[in-house]
């Protein structure tokens, strides 16, 4: 009798779980962005949220909760109810790189369940348009000479910092004096103003300066050429496949969110990214839509952590 009662309770829980998933969503959903308004991650989140809203038939409200390199936003979502109404529109910092640099994270990466990737703004290595460095080969040769090159980054553990350390490890060493700035935009300005030799930043950030004739693109550190810069080769094409990183954006759910809801959200993201309207909104700004299944996203994150951790240790990167 006791066994029958336990089974009946279990069945009731399962039934309510599936009924809940079947009726989802029946009210507005929130996308929490861990950065301030106007940045690449915020731009992608708002564009995708609009497309997903049309797919699901419910409003999606984008809320900015910046701080600690997006950790504040990640922590908020990690501690939110796993009911399918709060998602983290995050980037590498909140789930991959910063947890490698900090021992006092307020949440664990596994507290945020990957739902699907949204888009990537490939990282472009750039020099001033007046620089004698014309291509990637020139860059490596100059770095191997003396005094070498100054390289602007957005601080320890930032994507530009990873690019600089990847160049040291995988492209013949070289003399790179890393100059940390508070943001990627400041680092880009330092190259435009000829204070620093080179940097690597998201395509959405450097594209206006490239098209304005102020910066020269040397290579993309993503695995595919960017649509807006079809003549810029990838580091993989140039023979350096280990120099691979980009400014990607993805959606995560609090641990415990029903699997059916996660799959529905993934499907809505993929469908939205496949529309001409969303492509027309992202691609002209140098952002590449990156649709894929939840399994694809999990595989990407697993490989990303495996690739980047040795660089963190080699460069002794610390959270600043």
- Does this model's pTM top 0.85? My answer is yes
Please state the length of the chain. Answer: 320
The DSSP H or E segment spanning 44 is: helix 40-56
Average pLDDT, the chain: 92
For 88-100, what is each residue's pLDDT tens digit?
999 999 999 999 9
The pLDDT of residue 319: 75
C-alpha span between 122 and 5 (Å, rounded): 56
| Contact (CB, 8 A) for 166 and 143 | no
Q: What is the pLDDT of residues 74-90, one digit of tens each?
A: 999 999 999 999 999 99
Contacts of 297-304 with CB under 8 Å at 24 or more apart are 297/114, 297/115, 297/116, 297/117, 297/250, 298/114, 300/117, 301/95, 301/96, 301/114, 304/92, 304/96
The predicted pLDDT at position 320 comes to 62
Low-confidence residues in the chain, pLDDT < 50: 1, 5-10, 12-17, 19
Alpha-carbon span 285 to 153, nearest angstrom: 22
Task: Note the pLDDT of residue 3.
Answer: 52
Cross-strand bridge partners of residue 125: 200, 219
Structure tokens at 318: 């610390």
What local confidence, expressed as pLDDT, does residue 288 receive? 96
Query: What domains are defined for the chain?
Result: 2-121+248-315 (3.40.190.150), 122-220 (3.40.190.10)
């Amino acid at each position: 009798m006791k066994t029958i009662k336990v089974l009946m309770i279990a069945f009731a829980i399962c039934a309510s779980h599936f009924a809940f998933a079947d009726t989802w969503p029946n009210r507005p959903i929130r996308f929490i962005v861990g950065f301030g308004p106007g940045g690449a991650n915020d731009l992608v989140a708002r564009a995708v949220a609009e497309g997903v809203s049309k797919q699901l038939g419910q409003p999606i409200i984008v809320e900015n909760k910046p701080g600690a390199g997006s950790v504040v936003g990640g922590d908020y979502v990690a501690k939110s109810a796993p009911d399918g109404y709060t998602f983290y529109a995050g980037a590498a910092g909140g789930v991959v790189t910063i947890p490698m640099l900090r021992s006092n994270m307020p949440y664990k990466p596994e507290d945020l369940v990957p739902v699907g990737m949204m888009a990537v703004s490939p990282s472009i290595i750039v020099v001033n348009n007046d620089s004698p460095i014309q291509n990637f080969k020139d860059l490596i040769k100059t770095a191997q000479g003396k005094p070498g090159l100054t390289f602007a980054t957005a601080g320890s553990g930032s994507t530009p910092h990873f690019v600089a350390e990847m160049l040291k490890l995988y492209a013949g060493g070289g003399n790179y004096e890393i100059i940390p700035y508070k943001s990627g935009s400041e680092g880009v300005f330092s190259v435009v103003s000829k204070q620093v030799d080179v940097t690597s930043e998201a395509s959405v950030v450097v594209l206006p300066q490239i098209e304005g004739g102020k910066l020269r693109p040397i290579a993309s550190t993503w695995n595919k050429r960017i649509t807006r810069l079809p003549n810029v080769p990838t580091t993989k094409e140039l023979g350096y496949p280990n120099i691979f990183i980009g400014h990607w954006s993805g959606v995560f759910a609090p641990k415990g969110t029903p699997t059916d809801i996660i799959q529905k959200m993934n499907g809505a993201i993929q469908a939205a990214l496949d529309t001409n309207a969303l492509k027309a909104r992202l691609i002209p700004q140098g952002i590449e839509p990156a649709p894929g299944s939840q399994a694809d996203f999990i595989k990407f994150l697993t490989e990303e952590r495996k690739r980047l951790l040795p660089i963190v240790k080699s460069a002794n990167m610390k959270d600043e």
